[in-house]
Structure 1
Amino acid sequence: MPAVSPESQASEALPSRRRRTPRGGRHRGDESFLLPPGSPALVLAVPGHARQAGAEVAHELARLVEIEHTGQPAYLAHLEGEEANLNAVLAGLRRDEDAPAAVVVPLSTGPDRAMDAAVHAAVAGSPARAVAAEPLGPHPLIAEALHDRLADAGLARADRIRLMTMVTAASGFIIATPGDAAAVRQAEVTGVLLASRLAAPVFTASLNDVASVKAAAEQLHAAGATSIAVAPHLIGTEPETGLIAPAAASVGSVGSAHSAPLGPHPALARLAALRYVEALSSALAQ
């Protein structure tokens, strides 16, 4: 058998980039990655436990990652409970001293101190070598997904002819994100991108703090907004999902207007594959 050079081994370890046949619709031209056999497992770290409400969202996202972007299984691993626990999933993977066995992608729209700490602790304690990837956001694709959910709720629509946005039921928007003031600051990046897409004022607030949401509403009213809609900056697996409706009601938004959580949006599946590739490339370069 001919010898395989180290350079060849390194190139085989990295996923190859492929361009799929363009699809119709707003996600036309998405880029996918084809993982070669023996690639490290792509593990999606999910907050909460396997039986909680919203768990089906994680399953659908994993399916989209597999069929749309990698061609290989995407594993779900939960941070709580015994079923499909992240520590157990990592312990069950094949071990290779020379290459990572897994890349763990946090299923989160932005940095979350508690979730990041749990993921890094599991990776550090894994018997199989693993790598922790960055959370999905902030990223322009998160703003795209928020825009789509607002459009789905009839709160904003895209003029696909001019590629501009026309606001319908709301003239100001609050990105409501789980977490503390640090999480709000991170979400402000997405807020700027969303405001550009909507041509309307956007402020960010914490779903965990009603006063934060009300303060954002006051800023919007001061900016001239006459009706306000809440855009949840979460996926739907987070425990804060139940705070969305009360947050919208607290600011007196039109019919307590809010869009749905991002859910299994194609942009999130694309981001999960992208974070995997970024983390693996960085690990192999070290």
Structure 2
Amino acid sequence: MTHRTRQPARPADGGAPAPVLVAVAHGSRDPEALRTVLALLDRVRDLRPGLDVRLGHIELNRPLLPETLDGLRGSDAVLVPLLLGRGHHVKRDLPARAAAAPGVHTRIAAPLGPHPLLVEALYGRLVEAGWDPADRGGRGAGVVLAAAGSRDPDAARDTRRTARMLAGRLGVPVVPAYASAATPTVPAALRALAAGGRHRAFVASYFTAPGRFASACADAAPGRSAAPLGAHPAMARLVLHRFDRALSASADVPPVTPGPCAPAPADAVSLLASA
């Protein structure tokens, strides 16, 4: 497996290298997940030639995030979570691991969702799966937005907001559902749509990459399930948008240079709320 890397871009005046974009993926035992994330990051590099883009995982795949940050000592890095809402990983794991990285100036971008570009990616994947764009407002149509699930109420609010945005884009009801930790399940959401006369229901995969939960959700509606968001062009644009917004939001805040035992930086946590 190969993917492209670039050296940090150095300003024309010979100053310090530009900030590094560190994409933070969850990690999965599904080998297709890593291939998908690498393809997404290649799209990001194509959109921003010269930007140094690295990858770090929270678990299950290498490089793990601490390994990636260890290779960036003396650098300025923006961590962009390839996660779709606020939850434990975004609120706790990323700030803690950034704070523990010795010699790295870190900023943390907001998670990818909710955002209109995510809705564009969801819409594109649904069309690929057979959704008829002419079916806007179709009386028998509906969509289940299948997400991983979280006990964090902010994560649930983010998923519901995306569902409302997608419903506005499609003109049909969109019901959020979850693979774990929350209800309803995807089968229950499909039954609820059918009970309301929405028998032509699709499952929109609210996952960045393939994995166990994404496969379980797709199995609930075989033949009418969209692929995970993956390397959709809108996803690459969104990664760069989050990177740019994190830099802009922190322009007047000094980057954090934590020691190995430093607590999670307050300014990094505050950046998570930036849209």
Whether contact under 8 Å (2:138, 2:172) holds in the other structure is no
| Map of 1:198 onto structure 2 | 170
1:45 aligns with 2:45: no
CA distance in 1, matches of 2:226, 2:211: 16
Equivalent in the alignment of 1:95: 74
Contact 1:154/1:168 (8 A) holds in 2: no
Task: Report which structure shows greater RCO (CA 8 Å, sep ≥6).
Answer: 2
Is residue 205–residue 218 contact of structure 2 (8 Å, CA) maintained in 1?
no
Where does residue 178 of structure 1 map in the other structure? 148
On the 8 A contact 1:155/1:169 being kept in 2, the answer is no
Aligned to 1:28: none
The 5 Å alignment of 1:1-286 reads 38-48=17-27, 52-69=31-48, 71-81=50-60, 83-95=62-74, 101-127=76-102, 128-157=104-133, 166=136, 171-180=141-150, 182=153, 183-208=155-180, 211-248=184-221, 255-286=222-253
1:130: Cα distance to partner?
Answer: 0.9
**In 2: Cα distance, 1:82 partner to 1:58 partner:** 11
Identical aligned residues as a percent: 33
Letter in 2 for 1:266: P
Change (3 A) 1:54 1:282: same
1:8-67 deviation digits (Å, cap 9, x = unpaired): xxxxx9x9xxxxxxxxxxxxxxxxxxxx97211000001126984310111111111111
- Higher-Rg structure is 1
SS in 2 for 1:54: helix
Q: Distance in 2 between matches of 1:138 and 1:58?
A: 19
State the distance in 1 between where 2:197 and 2:32 align.
Answer: 38
Q: In 2 relative to 1, CA 257–170 (structure 1 residues): closer, same or farther, beyond 3 Å? A: farther
Root-mean-square deviation (Å): 2.8
So what's the TM-score if we normalise by structure 2? 0.76
> 1:190 Cα shift?
1.2
Are 1:147 and 1:156, in contact at CA under 8 Å, matched by a contact in 2? no
Match of 1:162 in 2: none
Verify the 8 A CA contact 1:234 1:261 in the aligned structure 2: yes
Question: Aligned with 1:284: secondary structure?
Answer: coil
- The 1-side partners of 2:228 and 2:61 are apart by 26
Q: Name the CA distance, whole Å, in 2 between partners of 1:169 and 1:50.
A: 39
Unaligned runs of 5+ in 1: 1-12, 16-35, 160-164, 249-254
Deviation at 1:218, TM superposition (A): 3.9
- Name the CA distance, whole Å, in 2 between partners of 1:73 and 1:215: 44
Q: How many residues of Structure 1 are paired with residues of Structure 2 in the alignment?
A: 237
Give the C-alpha shift of residue 102 in structure 1. Answer: 0.2
Show CA shifts across 1:81-139 (max 9, x none). 5732211111111416xxxx100001112223235422111111111121111111100
Distance of 1:81 and 1:201 partners within structure 2: 35
TM-score, normalised via structure 1 length: 0.74
- From the superposition, tell whether residues 58 and 116 of structure 1 become closer, same or farther in structure 2 (CA, over 3 Å): farther
Q: Which letter maps to 1:145?
A: A
**Alignment partners' CA distance in 1, 2:179 and 2:220:** 7
The gaps in structure 2 that reach 5 residues or longer are 1-8, 254-275
